[in-house]
Amino acid sequence: MRLRIFRRCSKALAAALLALAAIGGAHADELSAPLDEALAAAKERSAPVIVDFYAPWCYSCYFMAKNVKNGPEWERLQKKAVIVSLDADSPAGAHWMKQFGAKGLPSYVVLDSSGAELGRISLERTRAQFYPEIAAISARGSDFDTLKAKVRDGSAASLVAAREVLAAFAARRDPASAQAWLTALPPAVRQAVDGDAASALWQSRLKLRAAYDAEDAAACAAVSPTVLQGDLGCDRAYELGRALECTASLPAAERRSLFAAQVPAMRTLLDQRVFVAKPACADARSIVTTAADLAQTLGDNKAEAALLDRAVADIERRLGGAKQLDLKRDRNLADNLRLYLDRGKRVAALDALFPKLIAAYPDDYVYAYRYGRNLVERGEFARALPWLEQAAPKAYGVNRLSVAQYRAEALRKLGRDDDAKQVVADALKANGPFFADEVLKLKAVLG
């Protein structure tokens, strides 16, 4: 292993090195090499490293690739920073996702040249949001502890730093550390931070995250109104979605009372920022699906169906019209169309769309696998098998195991047990020692 690069690394990287040492040999080098090489280049250039986590099935990654990670701003960023892209489905990508605690995709983790984290951006952003955010993080030139040290009084600069610290804890999905930091502040400083509206909202959002992580429905219900009364912008869908999921075990009447007030707020978000000529929110899909979840929670099936119909029509218009869809124009939109049709149980339309998606994007496993999985879940095993077999040669890493799992299931349902065993054996041999949880799922198919 190349330990020289990490002599002053952060705690996350130090822990990762111990994990790599446990793996040992060539496999450890395979996992360490991408970040090792990026940090070596960063030291030579005195530049930050941006670790760009993505996956071939990630609709938000499609959005970023088409709408944000290009043009003069991206070219300038490539000159100022060392950018290393890691596929979350690969062993190395999955390993570093876990080490950095990056939960969603895409994620952009910014490191200084010694490996200390400066900050991160989770999920997609518009172009106008992404570049100022990444510039501000890169300009820190010091680790997170230095930023926290700037929170020292009730001054404007101190409160700006407090908001950044709390936002960073939220991006890291680490409410426990946020609370520990707040508790350790001097009383006068804590009072100033608590009295700042923006900081107070971040604290409420972190409390909701903590309740969500703990699967504490009562705590989620208690803090949700405070969070949802805040000025959340496009993030409203994420916070509402978290609250809806977390409170699912509560009585239906209680949930309707809790969330009914969100209908006009979500309608405004859709009308003003999603279903417009130039959408202002990067993640339209999460807003649509969360609004659909809200309608379902409130028992309004007609509103849910109408929303999905509107979303489908909007995408069809953007892709050239229902009769001449140009699926290659925008893969993010094309994938959203697939999801909305699936959510709306429009099976015939989905059956017509999937072959077109596979033809439009033939170079990866994604849509052949998705269609095969969809057919397996519908019990149509004979129809599913050719699509899964088409996906198999293009699959790799963790998705190789997923494809093999559904392929083996289809084979077993068709009475071809020996073929299913061979599929499982081949996938396990090809993947080596990685992805233990997925390996167990694959083996379980054989009983």
The per-residue pLDDT for 2 is 31
Strands 82-87 and 107-111: unpaired
In the predicted model, is pLDDT for residue 225 greater than 60?
A: yes
Long-range CB pairs of 258-265 (<8 Å, 24+ gap) are 258/221, 258/224, 258/225, 259/224, 259/294, 259/297, 259/298, 260/298, 261/228, 262/228, 262/294, 263/294, 263/298, 265/228, 265/236
Exposed / middle / buried, residue 24 (Cβ in 10 Å: 0-12, 13-18, 19+):
exposed
**Is pLDDT larger for residue 431 or for residue 249?**
249
Position 9 scores a pLDDT of 40
Tell me what the mean pLDDT of segment 121-144 comes to: 88
Q: In the structure, what pLDDT confidence band is assigned to residue 114 with cuts at 50, 70 and 90?
A: confident
Is 182 contained in some domain? no
What mean pLDDT is predicted for residues 140-153?
A: 82
Residue 6 has pLDDT above 50, yes or no: no
Q: 204 pLDDT exceeds 80? A: yes
pLDDT digits (tens, 9 = 90+) for 395-440: 999 999 999 999 999 999 999 999 999 999 999 999 988 999 999 9
Percentage of residues of the chain with pLDDT beyond 90: 82
Residue type at 275 in one-letter notation: F
CA distance 374 to 357: 14
Final residue of a structural domain among 111, 144, 177: 144
Domain contains 31 = yes
Confidence of residue 141 (pLDDT cuts 50, 70, 90): low
The predicted pLDDT at position 292 comes to 98
Instruction: Supply the CATH number for residue 400's domain.
Output: 1.25.40.10
Mean pLDDT of 276-294: 96
Phi/psi at 122 (nearest 5 deg)? Answer: -110, 135
In a domain, 157, yes or no: no
Q: Which of 113, 144, 175 is the last residue of a domain?
A: 144
CATH of the domain at 41: 3.40.30.10
Domain containing 429: what range?
A: 362-447
Q: What is the pLDDT of residues 91-106, one digit of tens each?
A: 999 999 999 999 899 9
Question: So what's the pLDDT on residue 1?
Answer: 27
The structure tokens 């892209």 sit at 85
Residue 349 lies in a domain: no
The answer to whether position 388 is within a domain reads yes
What does the buried/exposed string (b/e) look like for 294-329 if buried means 16 or more CB atoms within 10 Å of the residue's CB?
bbebbeeeebbbebbeebbebbbebbeeeeebebee
Please tell me the total count of domains within the chain. Answer: 2
- What is the rounded average pLDDT of the residues 218-237? 97
Q: What is the secondary structure of 93-106 as a DSSP string?
A: HHHHHHHHT--SSS
Band (pLDDT 50/70/90 cuts) for residue 142 is low
**Closest residue by Cα to residue 441 from 416, 413, 409, 397:** 409
What pLDDT is recorded for position 143?
66
Above 80 in pLDDT, residue 180? yes
Q: Which helix (H) or strand (E) holds 140?
A: none
340 located within any domain = no
Mean pLDDT of 257-273: 98
For range 150-175, the mean pLDDT: 93
Residue 312 pLDDT exceeds 70 = yes
Q: Is 30's pLDDT higher than 90?
A: no
Q: Cβ atoms within 10 A of the Cβ of 338, count?
A: 22
Over residues 353-369, the pLDDT tens digits come to 999 999 999 999 999 99
- For residue 8, what pLDDT is reported? 34
Least confident of 160-174, 198-212, 405-419: 160-174
Between 139-148, 253-262, 270-279, the lowest mean confidence (pLDDT) is in 139-148
* Residue 217 resides in a domain: no
Q: What is the mean pLDDT of residues 157-178?
A: 92
- Residue 408 belongs to some domain of the structure: yes
Would you say residue 138 has pLDDT above 90? no
pLDDT of 25 strictly over 90: no
Of 89, 113, 144, which residue is a domain's last? 144
Q: What is the mean pLDDT of residues 155-184?
A: 94
- % the chain with pLDDT above 70: 93
Element at 54 (helix H, strand E) = strand 49-54
How does the average pLDDT of the chain come out, rounded? 92
